[in-house]
Amino acid sequence: MTTIISCQDIYHRYDAGGAGEVDALDGVDLEIDESEFVAIIGPNGSGKSTLAKHMNALLLPHQGRVLVAGRDTKDPDLLWEIRRTAGMVFQNPDNQIVATVVEEDVAFGPENLGLCPEEIKRRVVESLSAVEMTDYLKHAPHQLSGGQKQRVAIAGVLAMQPQVLVLDEPTAMLDPSGRREVLETVKRLNKQKGITVVLITHFMDEAVEADRVIVMDAGKIVVAGPPREVFSQVEVLRNVGLDVPQPTEVAHRLKAMGFDVPPDVLTVDELVAAVCR
């Protein structure tokens, strides 16, 4: 599998103060393969959002380097190609939509790339269809729900035909149905179109869907691996200040009480099967 994003021993210093508050990165090494679905979890202040912003050169490392599809983010000439390759969706659904009509907002990215009007139109239709928002072509953003706005934001990024989709806590401000919408859309894009997905989240039920889970704390990667492996390390996660899925926690407690229950159950079904053996 080819590596699409490579973070090589990166450091980022803490930048104190109000709205510009940014957490530190304290020596992070991370390789992400094409078409992988990676979830990055961690408490507030762990640096997960900072790490995400290094992947599309919104931030540059003070030490070490970041390669996106082989391109160094420090090279100013490659900046726009990198941002086209690694598209990013942010936490606040409203503060990403720039135009008064959905259609025009999705066109924003391609317009910036200087594509011709027919190509832009084609991509707008394609992207909205990929996120299942075709019916909302002519809607105004304020008429949409949070989940719909985030899907429009994703479409806006897809219209640039990126290889990687980085999502920085995209569901933090959504209600449960909005969260489901966004997660399903992201999973589908990953499985059907092979788009690499990097999902920053603090919802465990989202992280369990990933191929690989990276746990961060205080600017470092603490644990990484398939969800099963990571979530079974309940103590580590607890110390870092994170949740585990409830079934996993129950299994963990049962094991501590001396029962022979596998520690890596993730879902209700798995635990039921284990108990009824």
Answer yes or no: are the C-beta atoms of 248 and 232 closer than 8 Å: yes
Least distance (Å) between residue 31 CB and another protein: 22
Distances (CA, A) of 25 to 69, 85, 198, 224: 22, 23, 17, 16
Residues 3 and 16: their CA atoms lie apart, in Å, by: 33
Among 3, 63, 129, 246, binds another protein (CB under 8 A): 246
Answer yes or no: are the C-beta atoms of 46 and 218 closer than 8 Å: yes
Sites for another protein among residues 54-73 (CB under 8 A): 56, 58
Least distance (Å) between residue 61 CB and another protein: 18
Answer yes or no: are the C-beta atoms of 14 and 23 closer than 8 Å: yes
Give the containing element (helix H, strand E) for 48.
helix 48-54
Among 27, 70, 117, 194, binds another protein (CB under 8 A): 117
Sheet holding 25-33, edge to edge: 25-33, 3-12, 63-68, 71-72
Measured torsion, CA atoms of residues 202, 194, 220, 154, in degrees rounded to the nearest 10: -50
Give the containing element (helix H, strand E) for 231.
helix 227-231
Sites for another protein among residues 199-228 (CB under 8 A): 202
Q: Is 27 in the site for another protein (CB under 8 A)?
A: no
Least distance (Å) between residue 32 CB and another protein: 18
Q: Is 84 in the site for another protein (CB under 8 A)?
A: yes
Among 108, 134, 218, 225, binds another protein (CB under 8 A): 108
Q: Is 80 in the site for another protein (CB under 8 A)?
A: yes
Among 24, 250, 262, 263, binds another protein (CB under 8 A): 250
Sites for another protein among residues 163-192 (CB under 8 A): 172-173, 175-177
Q: Is 104 in the site for another protein (CB under 8 A)?
A: yes
Least distance (Å) between residue 1 CB and another protein: 26
Least distance (Å) between residue 129 CB and another protein: 16
